[in-house]
C-alpha cells in the first residue's frame, strides 16, 4: 500500500522547519472538502447577503447622485470587495476553538510538539486558500458577470489592496482566535462571539463605509484596528492615496496585528495555567 505523496513543497518546508504547519494547512483543506454540500450551501449564502445590498443601493442611487463620493458604482464595488474578503476570512475559528475547549479535544493539540497558535494559523491559511479558490474567485466572476456595468474591479491599485488584504487576513485570524480563547475562561463563549462579530461587522466597514458614519464616530473608529479588516483594504483599492500614506497605513495595520498576536499569546499562556480538562 502506498502512502500519501510528499507534496511538491514539503521538502522545502521540511528544510525550513515548517513541515508540520504545511501539513496542518493541507489537513485543514482536506477536512473542509470532506462535506461538499456544506461548501456549496455556504457559497450560495453569500450572494444572498450581497443581493440585499445591491437592491438597497440600486434603489437609492439607481437614478444617479452620490453621498460623500459614494455613487452606485463605487458602492457596488465596495460591497463586492467587502463580501469577497469576508468569504475568505470568516472561518468561525472562534467557534472551533471553543468546541475544542468544551469537548476537551484541546488536549490532543497540547500533546503535540508544535505551537498551538501557529498550528491553528496554518489551518486558517489552508482554509483561506481553499475559500479564495472555491468562494472568492467564483464570486468575483459571478459579480462581474451580473453587475459588470457597476463593478469596476479592473481599476484601483490591486497590489496595495492585496497587501492590505493580507494584513486583514492575519488580523481576522487574531480576532477570531482572541474570541475563541475566551472559552478557556468562560467555557461557553457563543454569545460573546456573536455580539463581537456583529459589532466588528459594523465598525470595520463591512456593512457601511466608515466615512458615512457621523464625523466624531468616524474619528473614533479610525483609532481602532477593526477598519483594517474591510474599510482600509477597500479604500486603497477605490481611492489610492500617496505611496507614503499607503505605506504608513499598512505599517499601522501590521502593528495592530502584531499587538493582537502578542495579546493572544499572553491570553493563551494564562489560559493554559488555569485551564482544567475534567474527566478522562
Partner 1 sequence: MTPIINAKNLRKIYRIKRQHPGAWNAVKSIFFPDYEQRVAVDDIDFSLDEGCLAALVGPNGAGKSTLIKMLVGVLRRDAGDLDVMGLDPFNHRMRYVRNIGVVFGQRTNLLWDLSVQDSFELHRAVFGIPRRDFLCRLDELRALFNLDEILRQPARTLSLGQTMRADVAQVLLQQPKILFLDEPTIGLDVLSVKSLIAALRKVNSLYATTIVVTSHDLTVIEELCSNVVLLDKGRVIFDGTVNKAVDTYGNYRKLRFQFTHEQNLAMALELIAGAMPKMLQRIATRRESLELSTVLASDDVDFARLLELAQRLRDESGLREFSMEKPTLKEVILHVFS
Instruction: Spell out the residues 6+ positions from residue 228 whose beta carbon is closer than 8 angstroms to its own.
Output: 164, 167, 168, 171, 204, 252, 253, 256, 257
Give me the least distance between CB of 100 and partner 1, in Å please: 11
Give me the least distance between CB of 180 and partner 1, in Å please: 18
Query: Could you tell me the three cell numbers for 14?
Result: 521540511
CB 103 within 8 A of CB 264: no
Instruction: Spell out the residues 6+ positions from residue 95 whose beta carbon is closer than 8 angstroms to its own.
Output: 180, 190, 193
- Smaller CB distance to partner 1: residue 110 or 162? 110
Which helix (H) or strand (E) segment holds residue 123: the answer is helix 116-131
- Smaller CB distance to partner 1: residue 122 or 250? 122
| CA count, 13 A, side-chain hemisphere, 60 | 15
Query: Crossing angle, helix 93-103 and helix 158-181, to 10 degrees?
Result: 20
- Smaller CB distance to partner 1: residue 258 or 277? 277
- Smaller CB distance to partner 1: residue 27 or 58? 27
- Give me the helices (H) in 72-115, please: 72-89, 93-103, 106-110
Query: Could you tell me the three cell numbers for 34?
Result: 470532506
Which residues make up the interface to partner 1 (CB under 8 A)?
1, 3-4, 6, 10, 19-20, 22-24, 27, 30-31, 34-35, 104-105, 107-108, 110-115, 272-274, 276-280
Give me the least distance between CB of 119 and partner 1, in Å please: 8
- Smaller CB distance to partner 1: residue 6 or 219? 6
- Smaller CB distance to partner 1: residue 111 or 223? 111
Give me the least distance between CB of 262 and partner 1, in Å please: 18
- Smaller CB distance to partner 1: residue 43 or 109? 109
3-state SS string over 10-55?
HHHHHHCCCHHHHHHHHHHHHHHCCCHHHHHHHHHHHHHHHHHHHH
Q: What residue has cell string 491570553?
A: 267
> Number of helices (H) and strands (E), helices first, in the chain?
14, 0
Other Cβ atoms less than 10 A from the Cβ of 109: the count is 14
- Smaller CB distance to partner 1: residue 72 or 122? 122
Give me the least distance between CB of 134 and partner 1, in Å please: 17
Give me the least distance between CB of 22 and partner 1, in Å please: 7
Give me the least distance between CB of 94 and partner 1, in Å please: 20
Give me the least distance between CB of 113 and partner 1, in Å please: 4
Amino acid at each position: 500500500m502506498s502512502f500519501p505523496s510528499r507534496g511538491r513543497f514539503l521538502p522545502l518546508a521540511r528544510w525550513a522547519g515548517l513541515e508540520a504547519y504545511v501539513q496542518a494547512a493541507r489537513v485543514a483543506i482536506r477536512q473542509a472538502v470532506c462535506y461538499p454540500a456544506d461548501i456549496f450551501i455556504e457559497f450560495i449564502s453569500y450572494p444572498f447577503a450581497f443581493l440585499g445590498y445591491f437592491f438597497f443601493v440600486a434603489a437609492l442611487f439607481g437614478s444617479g447622485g452620490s453621498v460623500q463620493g459614494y455613487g452606485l458604482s463605487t458602492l457596488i464595488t465596495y460591497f463586492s470587495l467587502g463580501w469577497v474578503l469576508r468569504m475568505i476570512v470568516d472561518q468561525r475559528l472562534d467557534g472551533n476553538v471553543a468546541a475544542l475547549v468544551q469537548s476537551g479535544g484541546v488536549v490532543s493539540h497540547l500533546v503535540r510538539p508544535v505551537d498551538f497558535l501557529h498550528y491553528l494559523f496554518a489551518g486558517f491559511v489552508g482554509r483561506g486558500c481553499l475559500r479564495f479558490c472555491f468562494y472568492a474567485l467564483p464570486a468575483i466572476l459571478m459579480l462581474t458577470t451580473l453587475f459588470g456595468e457597476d463593478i469596476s474591479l479592473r481599476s484601483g491599485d490591486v497590489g496595495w489592496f492585496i497587501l492590505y488584504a493580507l494584513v486583514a487576513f492575519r488580523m481576522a485570524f487574531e480576532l477570531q482566535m482572541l474570541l475563541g480563547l475566551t472559552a478557556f475562561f468562560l467555557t461557553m463563549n457563543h454569545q460573546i462571539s456573536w455580539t463581537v462579530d456583529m459589532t466588528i461587522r459594523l465598525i470595520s466597514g463591512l456593512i457601511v463605509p466608515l466615512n458615512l458614519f457621523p464625523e466624531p464616530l468616524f474619528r473614533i473608529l479610525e483609532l481602532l484596528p477593526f477598519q483594517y479588516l474591510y474599510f482600509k483594504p477597500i479604500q486603497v483599492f477605490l481611492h489610492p492615496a500617496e505611496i507614503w500614506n499607503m505605506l504608513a497605513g499598512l505599517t499601522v495595520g501590521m502593528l495592530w496585528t502584531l499587538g493582537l498576536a502578542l495579546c493572544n499569546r499572553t491570553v493563551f499562556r494564562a489560559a493554559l495555567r488555569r485551564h482544567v480538562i475534567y474527566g478522562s
